[in-house]
Structure 1
Amino acid sequence: MLRDLRKLPTDRVLVSPSVLASDFSCLGGEIVRAAQAGADVIHLDVMDGGFVPNLSFGPPVIRSIRPKSGLLFDTHLMIEHPAKYAAAFAAAGADHLTFHLECSDPAGEVIDAIRKAGCTVGISLKPATPPEAVFPWLEKIDLVLVMTVEPGFGGQSFMAGQLPKIAAIKREILRRKLHIQLEADGGLDERTVIPTASCGANLIVAGTSVFRHPEGMEEAIRRLHAATGVLDSQL
């Protein structure tokens, strides 16, 4: 199993189940189930109650679940000061850290802190942030995460207005010939993944639609993977 984001392909849809929608009473088992169902990576949502109005978990929980899976831990830091905590999350077992461009720390300092900690780096954009905001940083990062809901809560409805942002970022990645994962997170299921992938997003975060799919996780992930056929089709 690959735990280096830089070695993952960008030409097919990869599924990153968000454990925020799982049963926290048996979190380790839920991660095992997701891996067995065909997950490519595992998405961990870290919320501090400040940057977003909710709390989730921190390094101790990540450390406790790390032995349960050899999949890459795709860790989304929805926190005000990611530079301060990058080393702690890396030591706990996070392989990749994505921070928000809108956080309180300067982006360059956060990137340096994450690299120093030994993780790959991603930048996330809230819905109101324009795509051009991430362009100056593309050569320095490995992933861009476009939020298709407001960050902080699971189970929200997909915001179709974010599709042009995804397409704009993908065009810039291709123009510069960069190997960058373009991730989308929020309200994604077998229906909304089609337009999302067609705009160029290849790493799909799905919580409720995977962990609570009526036909089971394996079928949910299979249907998301099927969107590979429309990847980049509108670019």
Structure 2
Amino acid sequence: MRQIIAPSILSADFANLQADSMAALRQGGDWLHVDVMDGHFVPNLSLGFPVISSLHKSLPEAFLDCHFMVTDPERWIDVAAKAGACSFTFHIEAPGLRQEGVTEMYIGPDESLKEINAACRRLVARIKGLGMRAGLSIKPKTPLSAIEDETLASIDLLLLMTVEPGFGGQAYMFEAAEKAHEARQRYPNLDIEVDGGIAATTIGHASKCGANVFVAGSSIFGKEDYGIAIKELRSNL
């Protein structure tokens, strides 16, 4: 599997976002990871569609790997495609995929995984129909078993959160990355992405677990030389 480094622009200098993004790509980054948060699914607000559109226009060759930490992902699929998102990753825990009236940001023991997975596959079909790659994400406490085989087989990318989503700079959760072992055994050609706490000291563990896409924020944008930072990450794969 190709090893992909995806600099997370959540850690970039927003006053110089285009320049920072271009530098990260020119100095060894493969994708740009774009976090979209609605302040409900996670307790933070972040980049919106004008930013995605601006990045797409200024860096048309960039692969914009968009991660939607939002309550109702279906609402944003068409908008994301028009803005220039290359991939659309959403959370299986999103309340908008579940029974009416559900507000919790985790999957309860009494919920129907069959219904949730059917909703996920419906969204995946819409995402792909608009020309984007479709990704599905799970939080650290959500087991991989929450995703049915039929759903895993339908997606292009599985995103394993290795921190609680919402903020950068958190400590890497080793046990969350270890879910990649089973996913890689079941789907050897699936892109498996890890996001949270990825640094030179943790990327090797994630790779050994089976991940091949690595989201790195402060470990790239927090350094003076992005090229050296990215080379250090790759040297530990």
Alpha-carbon offset, residue 116 of structure 1 = 2.5
Match of 1:26 among 2, 13, 16: 16
> How many residues are aligned here?
213
For the residues of structure 2 that align with 1:29 and 1:163, how far apart are their CA atoms? 31
Q: CA deviation at 1:131?
A: 1.1
1:62 is matched with 52
Paired residues for 1:13-92 under 5 Å: 13-69=3-59, 70-92=61-83
SS at match of 2:165: coil
- On the 8 A contact 1:123/1:144 being kept in 2, the answer is yes
- Aligned equivalents of 1:15, 1:108: Cα separation in 2: 27
Normalising by structure 2, we get a TM-score of 0.86
Structure 1 runs not aligned, ≥5 long: 1-10, 229-235
> Which deviates more from structure 2 when the two are superposed, residues 88-97 or residues 156-165?
156-165
* CA shift for structure 1 position 56: 0.4
Secondary structure of 2:200's counterpart equals: coil
- The 5 A counterparts of 1:73-152 are 73-103=64-94, 104-105=96-97, 106-136=119-149, 137-152=151-166
Cα-Cα RMSD:
1.2
C-alpha displacement at 1:37, in angstroms? Answer: 1.1
Are 2:181 and 1:191 aligned?
Answer: no
Provide TM-score, normalisation by structure 1: 0.87
Q: Which amino acid aligns with 1:217?
A: Y
Instruction: Report the secondary structure of 2:64's partner residue.
Output: strand
**What is the CA deviation profile of residues 70-123 of structure 1, one whole-angstrom value per residue up to 9, with x for unaligned ones?**
121000000111111111011101011100011122312321221222211000
Tell me if the contact between 1:123 and 1:134 (Cα under 8 Å) persists in the aligned partners.
no
| 1:212 to 2:222 alignment | yes
Deviation at 1:161, TM superposition (A): 1.6
- In structure 2, give the amino acid aligned to 1:185: D
Please tell me whether the aligned partners of residues 13 and 227 of structure 1 are also in contact (alpha carbons under 8 angstroms): no
Segments ≥4 residues shifted beyond 3 Å: none
Q: Which whole-Å CA distance do the structure 2 matches of 1:224 and 1:164 have between them?
A: 19
CA distance in 2, matches of 1:54, 1:90: 23
Identical columns (%):
38
